[in-house]
Each structure stands twice: as structure tokens, then as C-alpha cells.
Copies of this chain bind each other. A is one copy, B any other.
Amino acid sequence: MTSSYNVQHAPVGAFASFTLGSFDRRGGFASQVGRPGDSNLYIGYREGDGDLFLLPYFEAARGPDVPFGVTLSRDTRRRRVFGDQDIRRELGWASDTIRAGRLTLAIYSPFGPIPDPRTAPPAEVAARSCPALIARIELDNTGRSEPLTGVFALEAPSLRDLETASDGRLVGVAHGRRWGFAVRPEAGVRAFQAFSPEHAFDGSADRLFRLGKTGGLLIEVPPGQKREVWIALGFHDAGAITTGVEARYAYTRYFKGLEDVLSFALDRREALVAEAAQRDEELSRAALSPAQKWLLAQATHGYFGSTEWLDTALDDASPPAPLWVVNEGEYEMMNTFDLTIDHLFFELRYAPWAVRNVLDLYVDRYSYRDRVKRPGAPGELLPGGVSFTHDMGVSNHFSPAGNSSYERPNLDAACFSYMTYEQLTNWICCAGVYVARTGDEEFLERHGGLFTELLASLSHRDAPEPGARTGVMALDSDRCGTGAEITTYDSLDHSLGRARGNLYLAGKGWASYVILAHLLESRGDAQRAAEAKAAARKAARAIAAAFDERSGYIPALLDGGSTSAIIPAIEGLLYPHVMGLLDERAAGGEHGELVQVLRRHLSAVLKPGLCLFPEGGWKLSSSSDNSWASKIALCQHIARAVLKVDLPDPDRHEEAHVRWQIEGSGYWAYSDQMQRGVPVGSRYYPRGVTAILWLDEARSGQKQARS
């Protein structure tokens, strides 16, 4: 397959990426935006006085843009651009290595446990939050009798050299105060600014023409030698950067400017590269297929590019007050709750405190109490309860308390309507898994009182009369006005878009009752735990009862209003499963009927014409061409780890999913919402880290193999 695709090389929590890889497109540094950078990148080398060889990471060459209405002496040498046939690329979990001609470029974006700033030593927080990447450029001039000059440069406005600002401790260039790249001074490596990369080779002793909007590094390699240079790529966004809730980046407590960031990264280069290598090794050893490894690696880069590790304490004298945000890719919505639940497993692995941080803020600022209404009875308002907003704001603007940026009234189960029921289940499922994994008693204590409310709120959305309840959502929030609620599959048809009586949501409702029963029990509230258990049983029954023997699956809307076949029917199983509430004997235990019926469902729908695309690849709904890549990864895990279904032709499907990302998304790095393999939305997206669940399979798989 082509190596022409972007990867979001991103530090942890800076909402910043150095994006590179898509042929003939701009890329490079960008921060505080959900799209690739806008720089032509000039990375390559010149052999002696000959042609300039460059990687194809810039837009089709125009002449260099020289201002002042003058013509500079034209460089008659040609640019030779490496093509797909010349380039070998290897994407690791925390590295990306590109080889072409005499050049090897490796970019490392190390990640690992993210410490809680309230309890961890400041040095640890500084090291992890430092908004920098490390790149290694290697130039092989062996077997040649001429010198070779490497170039690592880009085009951007407001460039400056870093040598001046760092008193010679850094050699490189920066864009304003916001991003830049540098090496430590060493012989034969110089920074330049010029009108074009060709002008950098004009033989002038003084290569720093500060009006030039092309800037970077020139690396001299003597004849017959090989040389490697380490480059730090860093970001710095100072001061309060959000509104609504004012916050700054956590790293600004430790790094006062871009120069600090770059110096720190260069000083810690070995540790950074070692950690990246450790992640690469972990993924490499995992019992996953090459396609699965690539998907998880690409998704992980996208996730970190969307993360925002903030501190609401604006002065350094106050103790850290962390605030964790994941932006919704190109949409830039903040902590979108129906993404939070999907990031959950990745975050529990690397930053459990961040999961709690988001759940706490959902309770404190982004919860609301509503009433509910029956369809077709607009005047009648029934008791509702607590739920949570779809998101916390957009583009670094926290929305007012109790309001998302996304949800709008008066939309009949269309995109932008409310997701009240879904977000209610999301809080419950996240909290349950969080507590099960961390044993955080303080969290349980703090939110214990809410559990009763959550149970009531779920039940009220079923039916006002306890006797009439089926365990399934049947009433819409009055926040919808004349409209009706939707699910996270907002751009789908009613098979997944409508919330009421939806099979997917029924599964998450069931899971929420199961989890609430468990939490209430552990708090000693046996009565309400029993109530929740009963509701779970009802929900399971309602799902099972809707099974249609003729079609062999459960219709998307339990009332038969949509008979589409949908894969996310099985999503809800995941949360009780990872909490250990679906035991080994699941098929025969308390939830046996549900597990069995969903296994039959999945086996029936995973067929061409229903939930498989002709060319391979999973189709979340039989009646829509929209499919969400992150959700496929999640459901694959459930299919294998919970339902233990023998998936048909897994390699072929996974390779199709890789093609969606490389041939479909390409420029947009990891994308989620795919229409026949081409992203129509949710581009440059963080949600693909649901694939982290595959590693758990691998582990249990290995255990099984060993046993």
C-alpha cells in the first residue's frame, strides 16, 4: 500500500501535532486546531552541488515567492522529489521511520503513564507534559567522494532563528513564540532562513535572511561518512487559553517558553527515545496482526494530538489543579462524552486520574436535571432526572454550565439533537469501569449519593409507572423541545440515530442497570440494587424478546420501526464484562440469555449484504453506508472476548479498515466516520484508541496458549 498518509506526531496533552506523510500536501506544526499544519516541508539532501532530493511533503512546486517586487537570481538546479516507489515507511506505536535514498527520518512521540499533577513529583509532571517530540535524521554519504548536505526545513510566516534567543544553546528556527525545532550546536549543522530551500544553498556565508519564510537546518556530511542529528520539535502556548473555565497548559508551570521546551527535550533525548522504543517493542510483540498493529499505532498518534492537559490554577504559587480535555478531532468539541467512554480503556491504562477528572467535571458543571415526555404528547411533562451534556464546549471555549456546544432543541432524532439517555449511560458505565479498575474509594464516596439519582433517571426515561417499565428507553428529554433524542451515531439513519427503543442504546441501558446494581450493592443499598437488577433483567428480556427468528437477528428499533441489522447491539456487554460482572460462565449465568441472543445476532448480521461491505470491512448498520472505525474496533473486541464468536475472514476485514485510513483518510491521519471507506466527518480524530482493547485479548490469548 502507499506510504502517502499523514501521522499526527504529537506530544502528550498539548493539542498540538507535527503532522507529516501525505504526498504533495502541506503539513508540519499546528496547535490549537483540529487539522494538519499549513507548512510546506522540505526534508532531504543535496549531493555536492547537484540536484536537491526532497521527500514529497510539500505542495506542487510553484516558484519561490519573493516579495518586494524583485527577482532574485534563479536557481537552475532541479528539485527531485521521492515517489512512493522510493520510500519505505514503518509506523511504530511511538515512532515513524521514513527511508528514501540516502536519508532516514525517524520521529518519536514517546508516551507512557501520565502522572496526576496533584500528587506526583513536579519533575515527573514536567517530564511527561513537556510539549516536544524528538526526531532523528540520518544521512548516509558512504561510498561517495563529494560532500552531502541534508536539509530539514519548512515554510511558515513569522519565522525566527533560535540561536539568538537561546544565546547559542539552540540551533534552529521557530514560528513566533508558539512552535519550532532545534538541535544542540554541533559542527557542520547550521540554521537558515531564506525565500526558498534552494536559496539556502546559495553559498553565502550568512544563511540567516530573517525575511525568508523558509527556515530550518542544513547538515553537512563529509564524503564517505554517515551522520545522525537529533532534532527536538516543540510547542509552547502561553497563558490562559480557554474561556468559560479559564485554564492554561499544565506544562506552562514548568516551561516558560519554547526555548525551555526544546532544551529540556534535547537534554532528555535518550530517555525519550528509549521510552518510544519500549512502546514500539510492546506493540511489536503483541499477538496482533500487522494490520491491527498499524491501526492501533495510527489511532494512538491521533489520540494524543487531540489531548489537552490543562491547569486551572493560573499562577504558579497555587497548587496544580488539573483539567483533562480530549478534543473531538476536526470538530474541536471538548470531552465529548460519547467519545470519553471510548477513550476510557486507553486512559485507564495511562491516566486513570484523567478519567476521574472528566467524570467529576461532568457532575460538577455539565450535569443537568430535566423532565421527560412521551412521543406524541408534547404538553405532558413527566419526571425525568439527572443526565449529562454531550460535550463541555468547543475550540477551547467551555460552554456554560449545564450546556453542550452541540445539542439543539426541536430536531426530530436528527444530527445535533440531545443525547440525554446515552450520556446518562455513559457516565454510569465510565464510573463503573473506573471504580472497578482503580478501586478509588474516594470517588465512590463523593458520588455515592448520585447513584440513586442515576437509577431514578434511567427508570423515568423508561416509563413513569413502574409497572409499565420494560428496561428500555421510551421517553425523550424535554430539552428536545418538539424533537427527539439521538445516539452518538448522529449521522446515521434511524437504525442507529434514533434513541427511543434503540437496540444499541438498550444494550447500554442494560449495562447501566447491571453496573448501578453492583455499585449500589457495594454501598450497602440492597433495596435499590435489587431494583436495578430487576430493571437489568427487564432490559435483557426486552432485547431477547425482540429477536426475530425469521431474519435471525434483533431489529435496530425493538418495536420494529427499523428492521436494520446493527453491530453495536453488542456494545453494552463490554462494561459489565471488564468489571468482571459477566463471568466465565456468562452464557449460562445470570446474563446468559442476553449473551446467547447477542451471539446469535452478531453471527447473523456479520454477512455481506447486511453488516459487511463487499470489499471487506464492517458495516455498523445494514441500512447505512456510514461506519465508525473506532466502534468497529470496540465491537471486534466484544465479539472475540465476550461473545467468543469465530469472526469470518478477520485479516481481510482488518486490511480493508487499514485501506480506509490510508487510502480513504490519508491526509486526515486517523478518521472515524467512513462512508464506503472514505471519511465524511470525524476526521483527524482521537477515538480510534478503542483498539487498545485488542491488547487485552492478546494477553488472554497468550495465557490461553500457555495454559
Of residues 400 through 456 on chain A, the ones whose CB sits less than 8 Å from some CB of chain B are: 400, 405-406, 408-410, 414-416
Is A397 within 8 A of B68, CB to CB? Answer: no
- Evaluate contact between A158 and B409: CB separation under 8 angstroms: no
Could you say which of A238-246, A518-526, A583-591 contacts chain B? A238-246
A488 to chain B, nearest CB (A): 12
Q: Which of A182-190, A205-213, A467-475 contacts B (4 or more CB under 8 A)?
A: A205-213
Please, what's the 1-or-0 string for A475-491, where 1 marks a CB less than 8 Å from any CB in chain B? Answer: 00000000000000011
Decide yes or no whether A645 CB sits under 8 A from chain B: no
Measured CB to CB, the nearest residue on chain B to A405 is B210
A209–B403 Cα gap in the complex (Å)?
11
User: Hey, which chain B residues are within 8 Å of A158, CB to CB?
Assistant: 332, 395-397
In the complex, the chain B residue whose C-beta lies closest to that of A258 is B243
CB-CB under 8 A for A210 and B409, given A67-B331, A69-B675? no
Q: Is A381 an interface residue (CB 8 A)?
A: no
- Neighbour of A415 across the interface among B68, B164, B241, CB < 8 A: B68
Point out the residue from B69, B241, B414 that lies within 8 Å of A491, measured CB to CB.
B69
Q: Are A69 and B211 in contact (CB under 8 A)?
A: no
CB contacts (< 8 Å) of A673 on chain B: these are 69
Which residue on chain B has the smallest CB distance to residue A241? B177
Cβ A394 vs Cβ B177 within 8 A: no
Cβ B238 vs Cβ A160 within 8 A: no
Report yes or no: A211 in contact with B177, Cβ–Cβ below 8 A.
no
Q: What's the nearest-Cβ distance from chain B to residue A631, in Å?
A: 16
Q: Mark A237-271, 1 if CB is under 8 A from B, else 0.
A: 01111011000000000000000000000000000
A395 surroundings in chain B (CB, below 8 A): 157-160, 176
Q: What is the distance, in angstroms, from A292's C-beta to the closest C-beta of chain B?
A: 27
Report how far A691 CA is from B59 CA in the complex, Å.
Answer: 43
Known: A165-B244, A400-B164. A394 touches B69 (CB 8 A): no
Q: Mark A217-250, 1 if CB is under 8 A from B, else 0.
A: 0000000000000000000001111011000000
Q: Does A579 make an interface contact (CB < 8 A)?
A: no
In the complex, the answer to whether B211 meets A394 with C-beta atoms within 8 Å is yes
- Does the CB pair A393–B210 fall under 8 Å? yes
Say whether A681 contacts B67, CB under 8 Å.
Answer: yes
Chain B residues with CB below 8 A from A332, complex form: 158
A204 touching B409 by the CB < 8 A rule?
Answer: yes
Chain A 158-192 near chain B by CB (<8 Å), digits 1 or 0: 11100011000000001011000000000000000
Q: How many identical subunits does the complex contain?
A: 2
A399 within 8 A of B: yes
Q: How far, in angstroms, from A239 to B211 measured CA to CA in the complex?
A: 24
| Distance of A408 Cα from B211 Cα, bound (Å) | 11
Q: Across the interface, do B33 and A408 meet the contact criterion of CB distance under 8 Å?
A: no
A398 to chain B, nearest CB (A): 9
- Chain B residues contacting A165 (CB-CB under 8 Å) are 243-244
- Decide if A70 is an interface residue (CB 8 Å cutoff): yes
**Closest B-chain residue to A210, C-beta based?**
B405
Complex partner residue of A680 from B33, B69, B241, B405, CB under 8 angstroms: B69
Please give, as numbers and ranges, the residues of chain B lying within 8 Å of A204 by CB-CB distance: 408-410
CA–CA, A158 and B680, complex, Å: 21
- Interface hub of A160, A244, A332, A406 (most chain B Cβ within 10 A): A160
Q: How far is the CB of A65 from chain B (nearest CB, A)?
A: 12
Query: How far is it, in angstroms, between the C-alpha of A439 and the C-alpha of B502 when the chains are bound?
Result: 84
CB of A70 within 8 A of CB of B491, answer: yes
A581 and B545 CA atoms in complex are apart in Å by 104
Cβ-neighbour of A70 out of B206, B333, B400, B415 (below 8 A)? B415
A210 touching B399, Cβ below 8 Å: yes
**A397's contact among B67, B160, B333, B414, by CB below 8 Å, is which?**
B160
**Contact residue among B164, B240, B405, B491 (Cβ-Cβ distance under 8 Å from A177):** B240
Inter-chain CA distance A240–B165, complex, in Å, is 14
Q: A292 vs B144: C-alpha distance in the bound complex, in angstroms?
A: 67
**Cβ of A535 to closest chain B Cβ, rounded Å:** 33
Q: What 1/0 flags go to A373-400 for Cβ under 8 Å of B?
A: 0000000000000000000011111011
Docked Cα-Cα span, A614 to B28, in Å, equals: 49
Q: A330–B409 Cα gap in the complex (Å)?
A: 46
Contact of A681 among B69, B164, B415 (CB under 8 A): B69
C-alpha spacing A415/B240, complex, angstroms: 42
Q: Which of A174, A408, A490 has the most CB of B within 10 A?
A: A408
Contact across chains for A160 and B408 when beta carbons are under 8 A apart: no
A193 to chain B, nearest CB (A): 9
Could you mark each residue 347-359 of chain A with 1 if its beta carbon is under 8 Å from any beta carbon of chain B, else 0? 0000000000000
Given A243-B160, A397-B160, do A331 and B69 touch, yes or no (CB 8 Å)?
no
Q: How far is the CA of A241 from the CA of B239 in the complex (A)?
A: 11
Contacts of A210 in B (CB 8 A): 393-394, 397, 399, 405-406
Across the two chains, which residue of chain B brings its CB closest to A71?
Answer: B415
Q: Within A572-618, which residues are at the interface with B (CB < 8 Å)?
A: none
Whether A209 contacts B408 by the Cβ 8 Å rule is yes
Q: Which residue of B lies closest to A165 (CB)?
A: B243
CA distance A650 to B399 in the complex (A): 59
**What are the residues of chain B within 8 A of A675 when measuring CB–CB?**
69
Q: 5 closest pairs, A vs B, by CB?
A: A210-B405, A69-B680, A160-B397, A158-B395, A69-B681
Name 14 interchain pairs, CB-CB below 8 A, sorted by A.
A68-B681, A69-B626, A158-B395, A158-B397, A160-B395, A164-B399, A165-B244, A176-B243, A176-B395, A177-B240, A177-B241, A204-B409, A206-B408, A210-B393
Extra A-B contacts (12), CB below 8 Å, given A70-B415, A210-B393 = A68-B331, A69-B491, A69-B675, A69-B680, A160-B244, A164-B400, A174-B243, A176-B243, A205-B409, A206-B409, A209-B416, A238-B240
